């Protein structure tokens, strides 16, 4: 989609692009440029987090950064302008200049002879000649108001000191300019206030130049009784003591906005769990020979430079099992009432990252040799841990492996990745007593769990796939005889 517009011959706008598959919003994690910085075509200007991954956005033209429309931490809809660039600095064309942030009152009253159009005065805001499009700016909050807000919030968090007696009066934040326009707040903050039922006119702003932040709205959403307890504790110490208990209790919980990767995980798991009828089967298997093979491969010069671990052999075993039972590699097309057979395997590997669970996949994993598969696994894991996995790397998976064994867990009942037919969970490999050749011996044992979509995978087919994986791990030579 087009991600830039042109407001004049000199200034160009760059919009939030759809960096995934039909995504509608993204959060700005970090700006790499500031107003006044020179940028070149293809230079990364910011990092955003979508519902799937963190992505760096390059600017598609040269120039000097004129304005950043949104601050870090703001969720922006796809198609909104996030940055404007002066592509012809010094050309002589008259252009709007951001007003000094130290003088917000002056910036709120544009001169009568100013040219029509948007005059950027602050990140994410601007004024126009017509008052029907932009409201006059509100004056900065009084220092006393900020002190009250900080003291109240600190007490609610359970670790602050009582607010000083002098700035107790709640009417202190009111400014003479307040009645002439709405309080300053960015669209996401206004939406948050609306969702929580908070009137922004009653919120004490603590942001720069009197901007109301998310924290301000959350503070205002705290029960009024708790706020009153902090503000009046010097007047009614007995009543305050009772109310402070409630305020302290509120600090025992933390509310985290559901967005980005976590929001996508929740939607995908709920959709999968209540759309595809899951069946999970289990098998416990002796993997002693597989562990010996792993040790031998680590010494093999053909595997030099790549990571060899049990997951590599398990992945190869699943690929062989799919080759022997190709019907399992399919998808259910609800709209057309069809079962779509996949003649390729994009093998997903569930990865835990600081931003949450993601499932990148190895494209055409069925065509890779063991060294190639090892290299692909290593690259996939490294990229995921660095938070650099692209949306394309997570699209198009057909089956998935989740290795819960790394957390010391024996097994689980994994939920299908949406659009896939099966997911294999691998438990911890432990030394256990096992009957081997008629005698009880200590052997390396693990439990496998295979969840599959019962709409297109019958019990017989699912059982065959799981049994084949187990048989290969018990006798790894089957990787040769069955492949």
Active site residues: 454
Region of 408 please: left (phi>0), alpha (psi -120 to 50) or beta: left
Q: Please tell me the distance from the alpha carbon of residue 396 to that of residue 342, in angstroms, as a whole number.
A: 11
Region of 45 please: left (phi>0), alpha (psi -120 to 50) or beta: alpha
Q: Please tell me the distance from the alpha carbon of residue 432 to that of residue 436, in angstroms, as a whole number.
A: 11
Q: Which residues contact 195 (CB under 8 A, 6 or more apart)?
A: none
Q: Which residues contact 217 (CB under 8 A, 6 or more apart)?
A: 189, 192, 193, 196, 198, 200, 203
CA proximity to 315, closest of 471, 182, 473:
473
User: How many residues are recorded in the chain?
Assistant: 483
Identify whether the C-beta of residue 81 lies closer than 8 Å to the C-beta of residue 15.
yes
Identify whether the C-beta of residue 290 lies closer than 8 Å to the C-beta of residue 318.
no
Identify whether the C-beta of residue 215 lies closer than 8 Å to the C-beta of residue 153.
yes
CA proximity to 452, closest of 222, 231, 282:
282
Q: Are strands 361-362 and 347-349 parallel, antiparallel or unpaired?
A: antiparallel
Which helix (H) or strand (E) covers residue 271, if one does?
helix 260-273
Q: Please tell me the distance from the alpha carbon of residue 382 to that of residue 387, in angstroms, as a whole number.
A: 9
Q: Tell me the β-bridge partners of 83.
A: 14, 68
Q: Please tell me the distance from the alpha carbon of residue 40 to that of residue 60, in angstroms, as a whole number.
A: 8
Q: Please tell me the distance from the alpha carbon of residue 309 to that of residue 325, in angstroms, as a whole number.
A: 25
Encoding tokens for residue 135? Answer: 């409201």
Q: Which residues of 434-444 are buried (b: 16+ CB within 10 A; e: fewer)?
A: beeeeeeeebb
Q: Give the C-alpha distances (Å, rounded to integers) separating 225 from 119, 310, 345.
A: 42, 57, 59
């Amino acid at each position: 989609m087009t991600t830039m517009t042109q407001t004049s011959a000199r200034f160009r706008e760059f919009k939030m692009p759809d960096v995934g598959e039909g995504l509608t919003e993204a959060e700005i994690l970090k700006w790499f440029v500031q107003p006044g910085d020179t940028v070149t075509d293809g230079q990364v200007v910011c990092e955003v987090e979508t519902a799937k991954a963190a992505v760096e956005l390059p600017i598609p033209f040269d120039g000097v950064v004129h304005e950043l429309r949104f601050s870090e931490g703001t969720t922006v809809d796809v198609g909104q302008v996030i940055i404007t660039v002066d592509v012809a600095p010094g050309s002589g064309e008259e252009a709007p200049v951001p007003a000094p942030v130290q003088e917000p009152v002056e910036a709120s009253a544009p001169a009568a002879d100013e040219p029509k159009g948007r005059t950027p005065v602050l990140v994410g805001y601007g004024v126009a000649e017509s008052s029907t499009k932009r409201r006059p700016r509100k004056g900065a909050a009084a220092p006393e108001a900020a002190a009250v807000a900080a003291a109240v919030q600190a007490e609610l968090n359970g670790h602050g000191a009582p607010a000083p007696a002098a700035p107790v009066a709640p009417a202190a934040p009111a400014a003479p300019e307040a009645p002439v326009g709405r309080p300053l707040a960015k669209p996401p903050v206004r939406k948050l206030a609306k969702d929580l039922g908070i009137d922004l006119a009653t919120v004490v702003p603590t942001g720069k130049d009197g901007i109301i932040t998310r924290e301000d709205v959350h503070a205002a959403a705290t029960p009024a009784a708790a706020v009153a307890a902090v503000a009046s504790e010097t007047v009614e110490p007995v009543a305050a003591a009772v109310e402070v208990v409630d305020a302290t209790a509120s600090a025992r919980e933390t509310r985290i906005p559901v967005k980005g990767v976590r929001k996508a995980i929740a939607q995908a798991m709920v959709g999968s769990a209540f759309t595809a009828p899951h069946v999970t089967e289990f098998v416990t298997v002796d993997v002693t020979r597989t562990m010996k093979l792993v040790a031998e491969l680590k010494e093999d010069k053909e595997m030099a430079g790549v990571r060899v671990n049990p997951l590599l052999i398990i992945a190869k075993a699943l690929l062989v099992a799919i080759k022997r039972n190709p019907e399992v590699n399919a998808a259910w097309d609800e709209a057309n009432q069809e079962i779509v057979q996949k003649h390729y395997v994009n093998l997903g590997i569930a990865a835990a990252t600081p931003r949450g669970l993601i499932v990148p996949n190895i494209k055409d994993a069925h065509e890779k040799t063991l060294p190639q598969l090892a290299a692909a696994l290593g690259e996939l894991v490294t990229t995921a841990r660095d938070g650099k996995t692209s949306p394309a790397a997570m699209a198009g998976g057909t089956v998935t492996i989740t290795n819960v064994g790394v957390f010391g867990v024996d097994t689980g009942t994994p939920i299908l990745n949406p659009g896939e037919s099966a997911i294999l969970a691998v438990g911890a490999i432990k030394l256990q007593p096992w009957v081997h050749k008629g005698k009880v011996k200590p052997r390396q044992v693990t439990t496998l769990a295979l969840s599959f979509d019962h709409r297109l995978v019958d019990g017989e087919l699912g059982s065959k796939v799981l049994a084949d994986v187990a048989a290969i791990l018990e006798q790894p030579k089957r990787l040769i005889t069955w492949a």
